[in-house]
Amino acid sequence: SYFCMNWILLILFTGPTVLGSILKGKVGQSITVPCFYTVKRSQDITSMCWGRDKCPASKCDRPIIWTDGQRVTEQYNSRYMLKGNLSMGDVSLTIVNAEEADSGIYCCRVEILGWFNDQRTNHNVVIEKERISTASPHTYTSEQTSAHRSASESSLTITRTWPSVSASEAPQTASDPCSSTSDCSDVTTNLQ
């Protein structure tokens, strides 16, 4: 009977706690940790808190944000905010510009009227660094580039030859692509 009574008290004092999902995000991005409660009428709107670590028996350990149900009353870091509609029960936590140090367990505690009725949800948040690809394009050192350029320049010869065309074969609307000698020399210079 003593064992049963202790077990019942343990259940009552710890209350129901839901383990949320594992949420992953990247450093520098925003991540939203979901938390909702049911609001059918204005009397259902209630206070709540977000804290770091698992939800304790009451309140929030290492609190981040507190609300009175209508608005945020305490905010311990400007990167943690509630962007949802509080009066509709959306108390999801948004972490802006996430850092690796933001990884860990987060507790969402909605304070429901009555003894041991609070809605508690624990979420595991993992913030990872952006992966940097190890594959990189081939790059040349300035010596290689210079050597490559001078070798190709010395072997490159541009010869301008025009096929001979009789006057009867030439189209009447065609114009000379190089109307003056300077136009063709500019093209040749740019090619080199």
What are the structural domain ranges in the chain? 29-128
Q: What percent of the chain shows pLDDT beyond 70?
A: 58
CATH architecture of 29-128: Sandwich (2.60)
* Cβ–Cβ under 8 Å, residues 109 and 93: no
The model's pTM: 0.60
pLDDT at position 63 over 50: yes
| Cα-Cα-Cα-Cα dihedral sign, residues 55, 58, 64, 68 | positive
How many whole angstroms separate alpha carbon 20 and alpha carbon 104? 12
Mean pLDDT is highest, among 7-21, 72-86, 165-179, for 72-86
Find the range with the poorest average confidence among 23-37, 116-130, 144-158, 168-182.
144-158
What span, in angstroms and rounded, lies between the C-alpha atoms of 171 and 6? 106
